[in-house]
Amino acid sequence: MTEKEEAWMGLLLGGPILIIPSIVAVFIAYDRGLSFAPLLMFTGTVVWGGLLWLLPYIQRKFRKDKKKIIFDERAQLIHKRVVMASYVALWLYFVTACVITWCLVGPNGSISVNVMLLILVGGLVLFNSIQGLATLILYGRGGKENE
């Protein structure tokens, strides 16, 4: 599978794959109280979704056939830029989400603890969507320049 195809797959399937288990975990915790299973489910999804970008590096480190290049310098450079862009977007999203919530509820108001979890799920989806989108844009640009 090429990087572009992977990016399209991440963009289309990344959201639902991350949203479904995390929302189910939040719902279970809301309905039946906080227990180990939903906490593990939520933490696992967040850690998996948040650190999925490390996969090419891990794959390269533990690959048996070291001679075959599957993650070349150009791909690494694009990947680094994509990850950086996603993290910057994530940070801006969290700051904006906090400020908007503060403005909507008012300085003396209060919010449900579940809102924090939903903000985090939103951040996770945004992080992976930006990764897919930035990969497509950068490969699109690179392709035009090289052709």
What is the CA 137 to chain-centroid distance, rounded? 17
Q: Which of 13, 16, 43, 60 binds another protein (CB under 8 A)?
A: 43
- Does 106 sit near another protein (CB under 8 A)? yes
- Does 34 sit near another protein (CB under 8 A)? yes
Q: Which of 13, 80, 140, 143 binds another protein (CB under 8 A)?
A: 80
Q: How far apart are CA 124 and CA 17, in angstroms?
A: 11
Of 126, 58, 117, 139, nearest in space to 88 by CA: 126
* Beta carbons within 8 Å of 115's beta carbon, 6+ residues apart: 101
Say if CB 128 and CB 10 are below 8 A apart: yes
- Residue 63 CB neighbours (<10 A): 12
Q: Which of 51, 70, 77, 92 binds another protein (CB under 8 A)?
A: 51
Joined together, the tokens standing for residue 116 give 């924090």
Q: How far apart are CA 94 and CA 92, in angstroms?
A: 6
Task: Name the residue nearer to another protein (CB basis): 53 or 139.
Answer: 53
Task: Name the residue nearer to another protein (CB basis): 7 or 26.
Answer: 26
CB of 122 to another protein, least distance (A): 11
CB of 35 to another protein, least distance (A): 9
- Does 85 sit near another protein (CB under 8 A)? no
Residues found near another protein in the complex (CB under 8 A): 29-30, 33-34, 39, 42-43, 46-47, 50-51, 80, 83-84, 87, 90-91, 94-95, 98-99, 101-102, 105-114, 116-117, 119-120, 123
